[in-house]
Amino acid sequence: MLTYWTPRKPAAVVSNFFLPNHPEKYLERFGLRSHFRFVVDSAQFGYKKPNQRIFLHAIERAGLSIDDASRVLFVGDRNDLDILPARKIGMKVLHFNRSRSRGAVERAASDVPVIHDWADFR
């Protein structure tokens, strides 16, 4: 999925994590960092999802304004932390539903597109 999308569209990571810089370190460790333009790390930034400040910061880091939110596709696996707050500020959303591997997962609204595997993201 990343090999397919990296040359086509810029991507970033917005992560809730309790240790600063660790999301970026994990991406580097697994050879994935080069696929993402930037990483917004909640422990470093000071706000966690679902706080809208973290989403607005990501939009700003992408060189966009809140008026451009509809140009952003936010892919998230949690309805409460990802889908609802991203959608509230006007982002397009895609629910990565992990119920096949994680058991019970709260479903997003019926009008939210869903994938169950990264291979579906095309």
Mind listing the pLDDT tens digit for each residue in 56-113? 999 999 999 999 999 999 999 999 999 999 999 999 999 999 877 777 777 788 999 9
Paired sense of beta strands 12-15 and 73-76, if any:
unpaired
Name the percent of the chain lying above pLDDT 90.
82
Q: Specify whether the CB–CB gap between 96 and 115 falls below 8 A.
A: yes
What whole-number distance in Å separates Cα of residue 116 and Cα of residue 28? 25
Alpha-carbon distance values, 91 to 7, 21, 103, 120 (Å): 22, 25, 27, 20
Round to whole Å and give the CA distance between 107 and 96: 10
Q: Which domains does the chain have, with CATH numbers?
A: 2-120 (3.40.50.1000)
C-alpha closest to that of 86 among 78, 27, 64: 78
Global pTM value: 0.90
Query: Residue 104 has what pLDDT?
Result: 73
